[in-house]
Amino acid sequence: MSMRRGAPPSPRRLDPNLARRLGAALALFFVCGFAAAAPSVLERGRMIYEEGMLPSGQPLHGSRANETPVDGRGAACAQCHRKSGMGSVEGDIIVPPITGKALFNDAERVVATMDPRRGKAFNQAHADYDEETLTTAIREGTTADGRTLGVMMPRYDLGPEDSAAIVAYLKQLSRERSPGAEQETIHFATVIAPGVAPARRQAMLDTLRRAFDQKNASTVPGLHRARRRHMVTAAELVLGTERKWALEVWELKGDAKTWGAQLGEFYRRQPAFALISGISDSDWAPVHEFCEAQHLPLWFPSVPAPPVTSQYGLYFSQGVRLEAAVAADAIAPVGGTKPSRVIAIRHDDEPGRSAGAAFAAALARAEVKADERVLGTGGLASALAGVRAGDHVMLFARPDDLAATQPVAGATYLVSATLGRPDYAPLPAAWRAASKIVYPYELPAKRRANLAYFRSWSKMSKVEIVDEPLQSEVFFAISFLTNTTAEMLDNLYRDYLIERAENMLSRREASKAEQEARDRAALGVRKPGGNRVLPNAKRLDAAAEIAALAREGGPRAHQSGTTVYPRLSLGPGQRHASKGAYVVRYEKPDDTALVAEGEWTVP
């Protein structure tokens, strides 16, 4: 049939087979698109395990054997079994591991120390699970061999798909050692930011390397695994889980915007199990962010302005943020008399900005606002312009700033000790009468006693003390890491490292102080037969020095801890070990002796 010129074409019928094929392709496109957007099975399992959230968006619901309901995050498995799945201790209740290996044994029992109060308590063996028996345990509270689970274990209201997701997640949870942990060696790294004074950089490295060398020297390769000459735990000795340590130095260069890429390249060449210590006098956020993204533990670096929140970063304190809060409380306590005028002077860098923001926020609680001034080309003298008698001036300044000018008479000054390293209280004579120092460290007499062990180690190890706060922090980080990894046995998972730190720190500080007290009393050791062996001259000198320092610090000095800080502690989710500071002043303007204005303050 002919078509007239200019007439519209007749509609053409689509071939039915082609239509079916196009429809199927279009349906597949939408299905794939939605599937890509939907969370994977493992992600659904993670949401249930860590967050107590079902993939539907509804909170997880369960009830304990005593019919106590649990919902949402409070019902999440990680609340008791922890993120690593390695379990915990809740009062007298031992929460066992539920990792892939622990549940689906693979003929290899997971051995984990469970109760830090009893030392020899380990998780108990149990019958292996399969997918069906584990689903029954989760839903009904019955073990693989038919026993009833403890009263604290919830029975979860889960459908087939959600049950399959949590089982799949548990199958892979902490099944393989984390990157950087090998059969014979654990790899660690330390980070050095640009701008650190050469002497401080070298002091940190000398302390780290010497401690690593000594640790490795006491770790003797065995038939299949290295063993330690000097036992840390009995389980570690019997199981032979000790490993050599390897240290990489990741030294950053250039602009902070490029640090993430640099860290990524270091990590690609040799993954680290954790970053130990580390140093920066200014920026640190890119390092912290890299570690958070990689789930890489950041083990007590020496930095002035740690972040407020963290999952994988453990810090000594909040640094200048902590000082800012303590200073604000000293100047303008909530409900107290308001000062006539408050001035905050800081540098325009990360520590300065962090300190300024924290100081303003703390003052706001007392309805006080500070006049904030940023140090510029005119230095501190320019920033002090207009200061008058009666003003309170918070100085987030460094020793060079203070040395270059004189205080304005009649004003009261508070100075950051964190920014004054390595001298703890770096005030020139002209500033001492008018100034107080926000002091996050232990007071000098007790601190000297607390650091006796470190000083003795430095002397015997021929490590010169150039920066005592920094080097004692490094020494603490290594000794605490040694104890923590020893108690982890063969369970080298990064999340478990963080959890053990939360669990061990307070106990470790107390037991370490007790051990050092015993060391002070013991001037010799005994042979297996019981005959006393007199120590060599170096040990006698060290013991005498430690004992003398302990007497100087008072009868209870050794119980305060083993670092420059009065007390260190962590709990679940806590990431800053020291929580407070003193406000101190010079006893006499012509002397360097410090006295506390009041008690240790936790803002």
Give the mean model confidence (pLDDT) for residues 161-182.
Answer: 96
pLDDT at 164: 95
On whether the CB atoms of residues 561 and 515 are closer than 8 A, the answer is no
Give the mean model confidence (pLDDT) for residues 534-541.
Answer: 46
Please give the CATH architecture assigned to the domain spanning 185-314: 3-Layer(aba) Sandwich (3.40)
- Cβ-proximal residues to 533 (8 Å cutoff; 6+ apart), any chain: 524, 525, 526, 527
pLDDT at 35: 37
Judged against a pLDDT cut of 70, whether residue 2 lies above it is answered with: no
Which among 552, 522, 550, 582 is positioned nearest to 327, based on CA atoms? 582
Rounded (10°) angle between helices 198-217 and 468-488: 30
pLDDT at 584: 96
- How far is C-alpha 598 from the chain's CA centre? 29
239 falls in which pLDDT band (50, 70, 90)?
confident
121 falls in which pLDDT band (50, 70, 90)?
low
Q: Do domains 185-314 and 320-439+580-596 have the same CATH topology?
A: yes
**Host H or E run for residue 62:** strand 61-63
More confident residue, 325 or 560: 325
Give the mean model confidence (pLDDT) for residues 577-592.
Answer: 89
User: Domain limits of the chain?
Assistant: 41-172, 185-314, 320-439+580-596
C-alpha dist (Å) from residue 47 to 85, 155, 203, 209, 566? 14, 17, 44, 41, 39
CATH number of 41-172: 1.10.760
What is the signed CA dihedral for 76, 80, 83, 87, rounded to 10 degrees? -140
- Percent of residues, the chain, with pLDDT higher than 90: 65
222 falls in which pLDDT band (50, 70, 90)?
low
320-439+580-596 falls under which CATH superfamily? Response regulator (3.40.50.2300)
Strand 435-439, strand 392-396: pairing: unpaired
Which among 257, 253, 258, 222 is positioned nearest to 237, based on CA atoms? 222
Q: Is the peptide bond before 96 cis (omega within 30 degrees of 0)?
A: no
pLDDT 10s digits, 124-136? 778 889 999 999 9
Judged against a pLDDT cut of 80, whether residue 508 lies above it is answered with: no
- Give the whole-angstrom CA distance, residue 459 versus residue 462: 5
Name the least confident of 12-21, 105-114, 452-461. 12-21
**Host H or E run for residue 61:** strand 61-63
On whether the CB atoms of residues 444 and 553 are closer than 8 A, the answer is no
Sequential DSSP letters for 168-226 = HHHHHTT-SPPTTB-SSEEEEEEEE-TT--HHHHHHHHHHHHHHHHHHHHTEEE-SSSE
Judged against a pLDDT cut of 60, whether residue 585 lies above it is answered with: yes
**Which residue has tokens 């062990």?**
453
Give the mean model confidence (pLDDT) for residues 195-219.
Answer: 95
Judged against a pLDDT cut of 80, whether residue 220 lies above it is answered with: no
Give the mean model confidence (pLDDT) for residues 138-156.
Answer: 91
pLDDT at 27: 40
Give the mean model confidence (pLDDT) for residues 516-542.
Answer: 46
Name the least confident of 27-36, 178-187, 353-362, 476-485. 27-36
Residues 129-149 as b or e (16 or more Cβ within 10 Å = b): beeebbbbbbeebebbeeeeb
Which among 452, 456, 465, 512 is positioned nearest to 484, based on CA atoms? 512
Give the mean model confidence (pLDDT) for residues 192-210.
Answer: 97
Give the mean model confidence (pLDDT) for residues 322-337.
Answer: 94
On whether the CB atoms of residues 250 and 503 are closer than 8 A, the answer is no
Give the mean model confidence (pLDDT) for residues 133-150.
Answer: 92
- Give the whole-angstrom CA distance, residue 566 versus residue 580: 9
pLDDT at 116: 56
Q: What's the mean pLDDT when you consider all of the chain?
A: 84
- Percent of residues, the chain, with pLDDT higher than 70: 79
Looking at the chain, how many residues does it have?
603
- Residue 396: helix, strand or coil by DSSP? strand
More confident residue, 25 or 288: 288
Which among 513, 33, 580, 124 is positioned nearest to 321, based on CA atoms? 580
Burial of 211 (0-12, 13-18, 19+ CB in 10 A): buried
Judged against a pLDDT cut of 90, whether residue 372 lies above it is answered with: yes
Give the mean model confidence (pLDDT) for residues 449-475.
Answer: 94
pLDDT at 39: 77
Judged against a pLDDT cut of 60, whether residue 53 lies above it is answered with: yes
